[in-house]
Structure 1
Amino acid sequence: MSTVPRIVILGAGYGGVLTALRLQKELNYNEANVTLVNKHDYHYITTHLHMPAAGTDDPENARVNISKLIDEFKIDFVKSTVVQIKPVEKKVILEDGTLSYDYLVIGLGGEAETFGIPGLQQHAMNIRSINSVRLIREHIEYQFAKFKREPERRDYLTFVIGGAGFTGIEFIGELADRIPKLCKQFDVDPGLVKIVNIEAAPTALPGFDPELVDYAVQVLTNKGVTFKIGTAIKECKPEGVVLATGETIPAATVVWTGGIRGNRLVEQAGFEAMRGRVKVDPYLRTAQYENVFIVGDCSLLFNDEGKPFPPTAQIAMQQGVNCAFNLVASIRNQPLREFKFDNKGVVASLGKGEAVGIVFGKKLKGGFAAFMKKLIDMRYLYIIGGIGLVLRKGKL
């Protein structure tokens, strides 16, 4: 029987991919068997999905084939869907087989959090994957085509975006840029198109610098976006949304970006979870099982003020690096390293040539912020795939 430890990584999102790539670099041959499981044979760049969703970029630019990233002599890639995690038995059930592990890394990514709002699950679309953004893009174009056949149906040209966090705001910026082109393509009067952003919190981009929030709202308002801030969606219906104020907005398109919860498989596996996210120790392990690490959207970590860190690409990447270090240390019986989040800043794009952000403590807006956003995207490509990937995909 093999004494080589088996490491199984579930999910090739930011956390899973960075864990795999660092293990590939740090482990010696035959020091461990590493298996990466993902339901697609590509890794997609979540922070780029708002562009293909709006139709301002090709979905191909948001994805990278896993075979281009990993060394198949060091990492086995299994394309399959995870059905069940059995931590007591140290097994993972896939739709087409079973994997046993000594160490497990769960990086399965999140799901849309609907907060129990009736109809959202059934009638709203989400910016969550390559397939979901393809659907949104096709759907938007289809509404313009339908309107030409039924010009009395103004609801075909009303686009409701629920949530004014980063994803919502970035999508709205791209959509506002795309609308004039679609109007031209389909001979539609731009004055008939409505983009409505609805946010339950008292401000857009909750938790962000107020000066930059004001700038972002102004830029998007100038592009024709209507904001309804401090207003909750009470219900989502096939024909539109009902707000907590009683107002109904007839709309054939509702895109929900209002929150992320962890993966339901994590709750079903018996881990103590809050909305699908599991509180991890300083080494990113679960409380119940020292051989199970959780990174990305499914992990719950608190900052010094006792507030949970929001699930972002930046934190997932840093967790992946730390998780790989701790896996290597566990195998070699060396001390583990505590995870410390180093917040380098955030930038939200507002469409072409416009963005707001805080990078290394400095406030940025306008063209320079948009340039920084491109640099951040390129840096990520460089981290996972070197200069070759930057050159291939660098027009992000």
Structure 2
Amino acid sequence: MNIVRPKIVVLGAGYAGLMTTKQLTKVLSPEEAEIILVNKHNYHYETTWLHEVAAGTINHNQARVMLSDVVSQNRVRLIYDEVEKVDKEEKKVVLSNAELSYDYLVVALGFESNTFGIKGMEENAFAIKDIDSCRLIREHMEYQFAKYNNNPDAEDHSLTILVGGGGFTGIELVGELAERVPELCKKYDIDRSKAKIINVEATPSILPGFDEELITYAKQSLEARGVEFRLGAMIKECTEDSFIVGEEAEEIKAGTIVWTGGVTGNSVLGASGFELNRGKVSVTDDLRLPEDENIFVLGDCAWVWNKEADRPYPPTAQIALQQGVATAKNIKALMYNQPLNNFEFHDKGTVASLGSTDGMGSVFNGKKLFGKPAAVMKKVVDNRSLFLLGGVGLILRKGKLNPFDTL
């Protein structure tokens, strides 16, 4: 007699989706459930490393991990396809090349860039979205430097790099650029003073959510290495080679323009008829879709409410990894009609890199770190995420193996 196993489908192999999949193989035996992981690419990429890929300070291959190297295909069926929508009524997922039924579904499809309707931004600015978009930024930026000395008509502003948005990603990017730009100037025999890095932020400060002392340190460190800040400068429009900012409609010209000012949940959520709050799903305490108890929504696709702060948690990698662990356990509980546990986030702190040898942040019980100790801790954090997803072997293949070299 053949026993029909319930089918668990995980959409997306980012931090949340991949961790859910890995944990499901631990809490469930092969006889208990069929596990399917759907992802657009045959690799997972470290989202928190994308700014380094974009700046060209690490190779893009270091930031990506083949799924077949970390997921046992004896336990998990891997499908490489693009998700178009979820049909909740029929309990199926519509892919570009197939349809897939499910009993339990995990939606962890990641983020998309949100330009907040700024005119020309989507058409004219690069965005840090995935490996390919970051490779394009790196190649375009280097091309601007490469052609500068070979084109007598080249203008100095072609060497300017404009970064829109002073949040976590934008500041980490300009930190990497502060290291990369001097290297490019040396490589192409260009006067360093001609190449500018300008960060434009609509609010009066950078890095929302960080302590004022940490913010001050980050800003002064970056300015000392040549980064210019334009704070309180609302971007009105992005043209092919400039930002138009402020009530005076000032034009800031550049050869490379990168938008990091906002993200939203994957557009599949809207296409599937999920009820959205600013592009994301407000999930229940146990991370489920309010109207469907068999669908979990995680990571960048979900609003997870922080009751103490009375606001959603920021969609960080550490939250996504913890959501994956919790969701795997809750799916097993759901299968056996046992009570589910509410998701509880255990904050281990946040560290921002300001280049390979500089950083700032707070860890554990709010202990503040600055400079090289923060840079070391950032590499430890990066290695830890690799360890959680793929063990020591993955650290040896892809990790930042000698964090203390920065000291």
TM-score interval for Structure 1 and Structure 2 normalised by the shorter chain:
over 0.9
Per the alignment, in what secondary structure is the counterpart of residue 161 of structure 2? strand
Match of residue 335, structure 2, among 317, 331, 338: 331
Shift of 1:275: 2.5
- Counterpart-to-counterpart distance in 2, 1:98 and 1:61: 33
Match of residue 266, structure 2, among 245, 263, 266: 263
1:375-390 maps to which residues of 2 (within 5 A)? 375-390=380-395
Q: Per-residue displacement from partner, 1:195-243 (whole Å, max 9, x unpaired)?
A: 1001112211012110010000011001100001121111000021100
1:106-255 maps to which residues of 2 (within 5 A)? 106-148=107-149, 149-245=151-247, 246-255=249-258
Contact 1:240 1:249 in 2 (8 A): yes
Shift of 1:44: 0.2
Q: Structure 1 stretches (4+) deviating beyond 6 angstroms?
A: none
Match of residue 312, structure 1, among 312, 316, 338: 316
Amino acid at match of 1:362: K
- Counterpart-to-counterpart distance in 1, 2:274 and 2:184: 47
- Counterpart-to-counterpart distance in 1, 2:279 and 2:206: 25
Contact 1:165 1:258 in 2 (8 A): yes
| Structure 2 residue 378 is the aligned partner of structure 1 residue 370 | no
Structure 2 residues without counterparts, runs of 5 or longer: 402-407
Amino acid at match of 1:395: K
- Counterpart-to-counterpart distance in 2, 1:151 and 1:265: 45
Which stretch of the first structure deviates more once superposed, 302-311 or 320-329? 302-311
- Counterpart-to-counterpart distance in 1, 2:261 and 2:228: 17
TM-score under structure 1 normalisation?
A: 0.98
Contact 2:104 2:294 in 1 (8 A): yes
Shift of 1:266: 0.3
Shift of 1:152: 4.1
Does the C-alpha gap of structure 1 residues 150 and 27 become closer, same or farther in structure 2, counting only changes over 3 Å?
farther
Partner of 1:303: 306
| Structure 2 residue 292 is the aligned partner of structure 1 residue 293 | no
Amino acid at match of 1:244: G
Shift of 1:395: 2.3
Which stretch of the first structure deviates more once superposed, 101-110 or 238-247? 238-247
- Counterpart-to-counterpart distance in 2, 1:357 and 1:39: 33
Per the alignment, in what secondary structure is the counterpart of residue 291 of structure 1? strand
Partner of 1:16: 17
Amino acid at match of 2:163: I
| Structure 2 residue 346 is the aligned partner of structure 1 residue 342 | yes
TM-score under structure 2 normalisation?
A: 0.95
- Counterpart-to-counterpart distance in 2, 1:233 and 1:239: 14
Q: Per-residue displacement from partner, 1:30-88 (whole Å, max 9, x unpaired)?
A: 20111000000000000011111101110111010000111111110000111121111
- Counterpart-to-counterpart distance in 2, 1:241 and 1:340: 41
Does the C-alpha gap of structure 1 residues 152 and 4 become closer, same or farther in structure 2, counting only changes over 3 Å?
closer
Amino acid at match of 2:112: E
Structure 1 residues without counterparts, runs of 5 or longer: none
| Structure 2 residue 354 is the aligned partner of structure 1 residue 353 | no
Aligned residues: 396
Partner of 2:40: 39
- Counterpart-to-counterpart distance in 2, 1:200 and 1:168: 13
- Counterpart-to-counterpart distance in 1, 2:312 and 2:399: 33
Amino acid at match of 1:213: I
1:75-90 maps to which residues of 2 (within 5 A)? 75-90=76-91
Q: Per-residue displacement from partner, 1:255-306 (whole Å, max 9, x unpaired)?
A: 0111110111101211110222001001100111111100000011111232
- Counterpart-to-counterpart distance in 1, 2:260 and 2:277: 20
Per the alignment, in what secondary structure is the counterpart of residue 369 of structure 2? strand
Per the alignment, in what secondary structure is the counterpart of residue 310 of structure 2? coil
Contact 2:287 2:298 in 1 (8 A): yes
Amino acid at match of 2:360: V
Partner of 1:51: 52
Contact 2:85 2:95 in 1 (8 A): yes
Q: Per-residue displacement from partner, 1:305-353 (whole Å, max 9, x unpaired)?
A: 3211111111111111111110011112221110011111100000121
Which stretch of the first structure deviates more once superposed, 309-318 or 129-138? 309-318
Contact 1:11 1:36 in 2 (8 A): yes
Does the C-alpha gap of structure 1 residues 346 and 151 become closer, same or farther in structure 2, counting only changes over 3 Å?
farther
Does the C-alpha gap of structure 1 residues 374 and 195 become closer, same or farther in structure 2, counting only changes over 3 Å?
same
Shift of 1:128: 1.4
Which stretch of the first structure deviates more once superposed, 6-15 or 301-310? 301-310
Contact 2:84 2:271 in 1 (8 A): no
Partner of 2:404: none
Amino acid at match of 1:366: G
Per the alignment, in what secondary structure is the counterpart of residue 312 of structure 2? coil
Per the alignment, in what secondary structure is the counterpart of residue 21 of structure 2? helix
Amino acid at match of 2:299: G
Per the alignment, in what secondary structure is the counterpart of residue 286 of structure 2? coil
- Identity rate, percent: 50
- Counterpart-to-counterpart distance in 2, 1:382 and 1:213: 30
Per the alignment, in what secondary structure is the counterpart of residue 236 of structure 2? strand
Shift of 1:151: 4.9
| Structure 2 residue 285 is the aligned partner of structure 1 residue 282 | yes
- Counterpart-to-counterpart distance in 2, 1:252 and 1:85: 40
Amino acid at match of 2:367: K
Amino acid at match of 1:202: P
- Counterpart-to-counterpart distance in 2, 1:323 and 1:151: 58
- Counterpart-to-counterpart distance in 2, 1:309 and 1:204: 18
Contact 2:387 2:394 in 1 (8 A): yes
